[in-house]
Structure 1
Amino acid sequence: MSLTPLLRPLTAQLLRAGLVLVLGLPGAGWAEDAPRRSYQIAAGSLSNALTRFAGQAGVSLSVDPALVAGRSSAGLQGEFAVEEGFNALLRGSGLMLVAAGPGSYTLARQALQDDPAHVLPSTTINGQGQGAGDDAYAGGQVSRRGKLGMLGERDFMETPFSMTSYTSEVLQNQQARTLADAVANDPSVRTTNPSGGRFEQFSVRGFSLYNSDVAYGGLYGVLPTYSIDMEMVERVDILKGPGALLGGLAPNGSVGGGVNIEPKRAGDAPLTEFTALYASTGQGGGHIDIGRRFGPEQRFGLRFNGVRQSGDTEWDHQSVEREASVLGFDVRGERARLSLDVGHQQRDVDGTMERVSLNAGVKVPDAEDVHSNFAQPWTYSRAKDTFGALRGEFDVNDNLMLYGALGARKGDYDFLRHAVQVVNDAGRFTVSPRTFQREEEVVTGTVGARSWFNTGAVGHTVNLSLNRFDMTFDNSGARYRNGVSNLFDPVTLPEPGTPTRADNPTHTETVLSSLALADTLSFADDSVLLTLGARLQRVEVNSSEPGEQDQVYDERATSPALGLVWRTSEQLSLYLNYMEGLTQGQQAPETAANYGKVFAPYRSKQVELGAKYDLGSFGATLSLFRIDKPSYYTDSQNNLRADGEQRNQGLELNVFGEPLAGVRLLGGAMLLDAEQTRTAEGRFDGNRAVGAPVVNANLGVEWDLPYVQGLTLSARAIHTSSQYLDAANQQKAEAWQRYDLGARYALKLGDKDVTLRASVENVLDKAYWASANVPEGTATGLTLSTPRTWLVSATVGF
């Protein structure tokens, strides 16, 4: 059944209701001549008081978090104009309000107001509203704030988790096309499927992360399943570790970490940009980005992003055509905020690259000996996704906010592919063509409430959240006559004709629902933040196949969580967290003999201890973590089975910012000890887990040339140590390094802002096995590196 007839009237009704809420609230002052309104803001931390006031006043406040850290406010009661209210909150703080434009303000120390040498870094506070905000950390590559699901957006130093939030600025400057390009900045994340393949997949802290587990403004399952274009993205939040309390159950069970993508919003300044795109060896295209605010006090906003790019890729006989368009609409009222995002993405690939699987005992091939695309030229991938999300917030009073979100997606996918299962050291593999069709429909939503109050000297932020995720998908396909090819010397076979047999169609319905309650307690003027919470979770799965008994699961669990932040000074925060999660069980992949079997849900656990350092222009996170989860393996009959546990523990460092004027750093390192435990008869106990390198390291550098205004040079190095392909630790992919170079030049042509960019990825054109990580328990899968790639773009602002 198509979602479109259902969603169109539902979306219209919700949008109409939201507009009535924003426009028709009693006392909602839209008139320009209504300078005063009533406020009831409780005493507490100055940061929270300013945040609440800015949100209720409908203005933007930019402030260095270090300025307000540890300061308190007596609160605000009564009727005030905007500037009058700010000044009342700042009384006695040593800070003063400075106008930065229509509806926009910043703060400065009173003694430094007239000293131009003291230009303070800023963080934008838009109340409790939606959107990423203009709160970039020093250097503009990393945001100071990130989304923590039901807990809302939090400052980097006040978050009891390891999280890095990459801005649209760094994505555009690096010419990131898909999420795989964006996560290349993070040492804890690696891409585990070839570029130009059917889908993208990743590993975080050594565990698989699927695209379907990437959230869109906090909602799972809304974004395209197989690849996510970056032109629609305002910010990419990468959160390490299980996040069951924050966002509910991840649809595909990712536990090593999660990714949240924030949509673009129209800013206060009009925006019209066109970017011409080119990628070797012939992919041309363009991206248009238009943003406008309008109406009384510019409360309405529209942001449109559209991209199209097509042409041959770096791989032999492969071409890619991608296009996407997303329209975002938002309304900023006095007490209500509303947004709607609607998008469509399509991606067509001919000659899709595949992962390389090896039979037991086969020597790991030398990647340098693989010279061309070993997939057949007639293979293809066709993916279409239509999606949307409606979000709203309403301030009932100064101490209570209600919020809700509804998202939906319809996906249609059609593949003609073959596996690459190498059977001997000479590189021989059987070509077993098959078609595969999949239709997905997702409806997901959340409703919740957030309340702020004090009990004596203790502040409370209480969050209540109800989440539900419904997904229905149907799989079908057919098999064709086999052929033989070779990894080192591919043979082009005739395109498949009549199927030899049809696959049994499968129909699966999944419902993930949960109820969560959390309280963040603040002590000692917000220098200590303790979050206590739990999520009651339920997993319902019903999978049916003609001639087979239905597989039905209905599991419940309560998952506790704890997070502690101790801000010992303005520069240093220490944190601790403990998280549990219930996860939907693994589904046996198409390469397994028991393909389609859905396993029972399981629990995962994480404990993490860390420190965050903030120098104002430079930041770092150091964390020590341990994650335990059940694991799977493939037996001698090629059946996927549950067996034992995998324990990943490690040390992680992330650095970002501008330690020297004009010099920016982005990267870090992860040391990982991934061990198999409690395996059947102890046969693999103590072995390293599949696809888990001991060391990952990234270092990206940008340098603004001091003598050539507008010119920036960049370089990046990525290292991944060796990885095992099998549980017995007999097959190993060697360590690898990749080097990237780039440059950009910003200039004025008349009254137009122009930015020219050029970069080359894998500048040495090295061939290596980038990853051995695959969905847990399935056959070994080697990901071949992408050849040297040239990227060129030119952005013009109108």
Structure 2
Amino acid sequence: MHSSIPRPLSALLLGALAASPAALAQPAPASQAPVQQVVIHASADASAEGLKAPYAGRQVARGGRVGILGNQDMMDTPFSQTSYTQELIQNQQAMSIGDVLKNDPTVRLARGFGNYQQVYVIRGFPVYSDDMSYNGLYGLLPRQYLAAELVERVEVLRGVSAFVNSAAPGGSGLGGSINVMPKRAPNEAVTQVTLGVESGPQGYLAADIARRFGPDKSTGVRLTAVRRDGDTAIDRESRELSLFAIGADWRSRRVRVSADIGYQEHKLRDARPSVDIDKFGFPAAAFVPRTPDADANHGQGWTRSDERDTFGTVRAEFDLANQTTAWVAAGMRNGKERNDLAGVYVADRAGSTLVSRFANQREDDVATGEAGVRTSLTTGSVRHELVASANLFYSKEHNNYAMSTTDSANDLYDTVPGPAPALGFFGGDLHAPRVVGRTRTRSIALADTLVLADDRLRLTLGVRHQTIESYGYDYNTGLQTAQYDKSRTTPMAGLLFKASKQLSLYATYAEGLVKGDTASGQDIANQGEVFAPYVTKQGELGAKFDHGRFGGNIALFQARKPIAGIVGDRYVGSAYKQRNRGVEGTFFGEAARGLRVLGGLTYLDTDVQDKDAVGAPRWQFNTGVEWDVPGLPGLALTGRVNHTGQQYANAANTLRVGSWTTLDVGARYGLAVAERFVTLRAHVNNLTNRDYWQSVGGYPGANYLVLGNPRTVVVSASVDF
């Protein structure tokens, strides 16, 4: 691996910079050189109202997309939500969606089972990265990792959301949902190039170019290109990323259309794997090993993970009348993965490990769409905001796998390179994966928000009817082995009272939905019984405050999730319940002039048969600060503290991973150089180089450990032409 930039991307960037002067934004004269970046307002969807404006401090927005309800101001909706802006993403030099969500006190980053997929744990429940939505549509984003440069906003909606978003097709999203919004061309021309380097070293080059055309600037195009290549701060690990995306939009007086197409290729070599502490199913013999050095690598040089995705969307909105708007949206994705992974199991307290091998190829084809209509009418003193929508989702998965039948010996604390164990157990042809799964979901939803008392009282009532179909096929023969086709109706009710312009109080009841199990096991009487979708029920009380330049949210919540199990001689779909309840608070804005803050705290109490859930810390908090240094215009100092409490590492609660706290610091300086605006950024993540187990599990029933990243230095320079 190396940090050079491929010639095609270099040529593209140089070509953009060499564009004619008429196409480029004109630089300011030297005497008028800017001292601050131009504030840019852009709409990332095809809606008439566009994105909600940034809040004071510009790190978060005043609201965001609430599924079927559309873009909502934070003080008008009975949900807890935070929308992180592109300005925050760039200033923090975030590489992935996981990096952005390190700012959120209700979210913690985990990892998928057996691979390097990012998983986001919200209120103690996972959200898989392939269950993120892209401008409201599921399944269109790369499955394991998404570069942060692609998006304009990262929106976190906390709590179950089967009504507002429909059920996530991957079976997660019971603690919340994550939606990302694509970039659009703002009114001002944009030509920005960023060069950077990260500990490893790893090189970075990005271009962001946007133009609007026509006498009324009705047509916009925005291009994003990114290249990362080189080693990471982890010993021997290397990463390569290529991203190219184009977003376009057009609008007239009554019609708005937007479209996006993107390509991302992500490659890992010798990446550090998770650590299994209970490979053979003997929980009494399991233990939590001592934490290795943060920059150590217990992986192997023969490991690789390659992911390549092509995706696109189109969305259109039509004003049928002054108060009535209809919309349609559709998207497709083709994703290909190739993995050769090392499984690491710790065999004793001295650090002896057994290393296995797992290889597979996977290809996903996804098509999704939605249509709806939104209108407003008044009956007496009550205004009704009515909406109806229909959603369709289809995915087809090709897959195969191969596993080693013997393990090789190694050491967690002194890992040495070794040959790859021979593959001896195969599921399908490694060179020609078969179709092994198909998923179809469809739903219709209706909602009415009743606005009363001069907009001080808002009652939202809604219902969604959801159908989930799933089919499984044998890896070797291609014959169908499983079928699932069940439906469920999901209600929602939310009441919001505006006690004043600065304070909103709300209460919400909502439900989450995932596919039910099929009864299986030894000596059970109902073998093969297919259960209806499982319903997670949640109640929430909250308060939102907005003091103009400083705001936040406090929420108390409780959710109950069914857990399947065997009772007597029967497999029961809701034999037990997992109960997650807690309180969370978030804050954001400008605490004082030139002092921006972002963070909050979460307390979570989980109960699974009188035990705490695996990988669900009771306490977690974040505090981020940006300070504009007085007397030095353009200079800002930054810092962030992240704390995560102890986590249980097994269902019996006899194993526990210690709490951890990390400190990130940085600086940013903007100045004019040769009539161009330049922004210099530097960050040090995990300043103290803390060694810690970042997460436990991330996949239901699993308790593997993921080691936190070491001290990492990132520096970059952005030039606006």
Q: What are structure 1's unaligned runs of at least 5 residues?
A: 1-120, 589-596, 677-684
In structure 1, what is the Cα distance between the partners aligned to 2:184 and 2:425? 49
8 Å contact 2:471–2:480 — kept in the other structure?
Answer: no
2:276 to 349, 357, 363: 357
Question: Aligned pair 1:795/2:706, yes or no?
Answer: no
2:504 to 547, 557, 573: 573
| Correspondence list, 1:6-17, <5 A | none
In structure 2, what is the Cα distance between the partners aligned to 1:552 and 1:296? 56
In structure 1, what is the Cα distance between the partners aligned to 2:96 and 2:113? 10
Amino acid at match of 2:716: S
Given the superposition, is the C-alpha separation of residues 198 and 643 from structure 1 closer, same or farther in structure 2, using an over 3 Å criterion?
A: farther
Secondary structure, counterpart of 1:433 in structure 2: strand
Specify the alignment match of 1:222 in structure 2: 140
Amino acid at match of 1:542: Y
Query: Is the deviation greater in 250-259 or in 437-446?
Result: 250-259
8 Å contact 1:551–1:598 — kept in the other structure?
Answer: no
| Correspondence list, 1:622-641, <5 A | 622-631=554-563
Q: What are structure 2's unaligned runs of at least 5 residues?
A: 1-38, 429-433, 520-528
Residue by residue over 1:394-428, the C-alpha shift from the partner in whole angstroms, topping out at 9 and shown as x without a partner, is 00010211001001100000000022222322222
Specify the alignment match of 1:164 in structure 2: 82
Given the superposition, is the C-alpha separation of residues 598 and 140 from structure 1 closer, same or farther in structure 2, using an over 3 Å criterion?
A: farther
Specify the alignment match of 1:750 in structure 2: 674
1:493 to 410, 418, 443: 418
In structure 2, what is the Cα distance between the partners aligned to 1:182 and 1:744? 17
8 Å contact 2:46–2:256 — kept in the other structure?
Answer: no
Residue by residue over 1:608-635, the C-alpha shift from the partner in whole angstroms, topping out at 9 and shown as x without a partner, is 1000000000001000001111246999
2:108 to 190, 198, 201: 190
Specify the alignment match of 1:652 in structure 2: 584
Question: Aligned pair 1:528/2:474, yes or no?
Answer: no
Given the superposition, is the C-alpha separation of residues 196 and 372 from structure 1 closer, same or farther in structure 2, using an over 3 Å criterion?
A: farther
Secondary structure, counterpart of 2:100 in structure 1: helix
Specify the alignment match of 2:551 in structure 1: 619
Instruction: Report 1 or 2 for greater relative contact order, CA contacts < 8 Å, sequence distance ≥ 6.
Output: 2
1:340 to 254, 259, 271: 259
Secondary structure, counterpart of 1:170 in structure 2: helix
Given the superposition, is the C-alpha separation of residues 371 and 793 from structure 1 closer, same or farther in structure 2, using an over 3 Å criterion?
A: closer
Residue by residue over 1:487-541, the C-alpha shift from the partner in whole angstroms, topping out at 9 and shown as x without a partner, is 12223211355x3231246610000111000001100111111110000010100
Secondary structure, counterpart of 1:419 in structure 2: strand
TM-score by length of 1: 0.79
| Correspondence list, 1:290-305, <5 A | 290-305=209-224
In structure 2, what is the Cα distance between the partners aligned to 1:191 and 1:127? 27
8 Å contact 1:694–1:722 — kept in the other structure?
Answer: yes
Aligned pair count reads: 657
Specify the alignment match of 1:90 in structure 2: none
Specify the alignment match of 2:514 in structure 1: 583
Query: Per-residue deviation at 1:188?
Result: 0.7
Specify the alignment match of 1:329 in structure 2: 248
Amino acid at match of 2:419: P
Amino acid at match of 1:209: V
Secondary structure, counterpart of 1:716 in structure 2: strand
In structure 1, what is the Cα distance between the partners aligned to 2:304 and 2:337? 11
Q: Percent of counterpart pairs with the same letter?
A: 40
Given the superposition, is the C-alpha separation of residues 781 and 131 from structure 1 closer, same or farther in structure 2, using an over 3 Å criterion?
A: farther
Secondary structure, counterpart of 2:451 in structure 1: strand
2:58 to 137, 140, 151: 140
Amino acid at match of 1:627: A
Query: Per-residue deviation at 1:330?
Result: 0.2
1:720 to 644, 656, 664: 644
Query: Is the deviation greater in 217-226 or in 413-422?
Result: 413-422
Given the superposition, is the C-alpha separation of residues 167 and 640 from structure 1 closer, same or farther in structure 2, using an over 3 Å criterion?
A: farther
In structure 1, what is the Cα distance between the partners aligned to 2:453 and 2:43? 22
Specify the alignment match of 1:316 in structure 2: 235
Query: Per-residue deviation at 1:431?
Result: 1.4
Given the superposition, is the C-alpha separation of residues 473 and 634 from structure 1 closer, same or farther in structure 2, using an over 3 Å criterion?
A: farther
Specify the alignment match of 2:436 in structure 1: 507
In structure 1, what is the Cα distance between the partners aligned to 2:228 and 2:693? 27
Given the superposition, is the C-alpha separation of residues 222 and 354 from structure 1 closer, same or farther in structure 2, using an over 3 Å criterion?
A: same
1:258 to 177, 200, 207: 177
| Correspondence list, 1:593-604, <5 A | 601-604=533-536
In structure 2, what is the Cα distance between the partners aligned to 1:201 and 1:585? 21
In structure 2, what is the Cα distance between the partners aligned to 1:278 and 1:634? 54
TM-score by length of 2: 0.87
Residue by residue over 1:515-572, the C-alpha shift from the partner in whole angstroms, topping out at 9 and shown as x without a partner, is 0000011001111111100000101001011467611111111000011111111100
In structure 1, what is the Cα distance between the partners aligned to 2:131 and 2:588? 26
Specify the alignment match of 2:494 in structure 1: 563
2:198 to 257, 279, 299: 279
8 Å contact 1:458–1:522 — kept in the other structure?
Answer: yes
Secondary structure, counterpart of 1:298 in structure 2: coil
Residue by residue over 1:668-698, the C-alpha shift from the partner in whole angstroms, topping out at 9 and shown as x without a partner, is 000000111xxxxxxxx21111111010000
Query: Per-residue deviation at 1:781?
Result: 1.1
Amino acid at match of 1:486: D
8 Å contact 1:669–1:695 — kept in the other structure?
Answer: yes
Amino acid at match of 2:77: T
In structure 2, what is the Cα distance between the partners aligned to 1:583 and 1:234? 29
Residue by residue over 1:434-462, the C-alpha shift from the partner in whole angstroms, topping out at 9 and shown as x without a partner, is 21111101000000000111111100110
Given the superposition, is the C-alpha separation of residues 663 and 582 from structure 1 closer, same or farther in structure 2, using an over 3 Å criterion?
A: same
In structure 1, what is the Cα distance between the partners aligned to 2:40 and 2:450? 26
Secondary structure, counterpart of 1:432 in structure 2: strand
Specify the alignment match of 1:550 in structure 2: 481
RMSD: 2.6
8 Å contact 1:692–1:773 — kept in the other structure?
Answer: no
Query: Per-residue deviation at 1:600?
Result: 6.5
Query: Per-residue deviation at 1:429?
Result: 2.6
8 Å contact 2:402–2:426 — kept in the other structure?
Answer: yes
8 Å contact 1:330–1:337 — kept in the other structure?
Answer: yes
2:539 to 603, 607, 614: 607
8 Å contact 2:41–2:187 — kept in the other structure?
Answer: no
Residue by residue over 1:176-234, the C-alpha shift from the partner in whole angstroms, topping out at 9 and shown as x without a partner, is 01011000000110011299962211100111110111110000111111101111111
